[in-house]
Amino acid sequence: MNYPVIDQDWFTEACLESGSAFSLELHSKLHEEQSPYQKIEVYKTKKFGNLLVIDGFVMLSTRDNFIYHEMMAHPALFSHQNPRHVAIIGGGDCGTLREVAKHSCVEKITQIEIDERVTRLSEQYFPELCTANADARVTFRFQDAIEWMQHAPASSIDVIIVDSTDPIGFAECLFKKPFYQTCVRALREEGLLIQQSESPLTNWQSITLPMRSEMNSAGFAHTETLFFPQPVYPTGWWSATIAAKKDLHLVRDNDVKNLNFKTDYYNYNIHLSAFAIPSFLQHTV
Active site residues: 163
Closest Cα partner for 95 from 116, 111, 77, 76?
A: 111
Quote the CA–CA distance of 268 and 272 in Å, as a whole number: 7
What angle, rounded to 10 degrees, do the helices at 209-218 and 177-186 form?
50
Q: Are strands 2-6 and 222-229 parallel, antiparallel or unpaired?
A: unpaired
Helix (H, G, I), strand (E, B), or coil: what is residue 46? Answer: coil
Give yes or no for a contact between 18 and 199, defined as CB atoms under 8 angstroms apart.
yes
User: Contact 193/245 with Cβ under 8 angstroms?
Assistant: no
The CA distance from 88 to 71, in Å, is 14
8 CB-contact burial (10 Å; exposed 0-12 / middle 13-18 / buried 19+): exposed
What's the distance, Cα to Cα, between the start and end of the chain in Å? 25
**In this structure, are strands 39-45 and 50-54 parallel, antiparallel, or unpaired?**
antiparallel
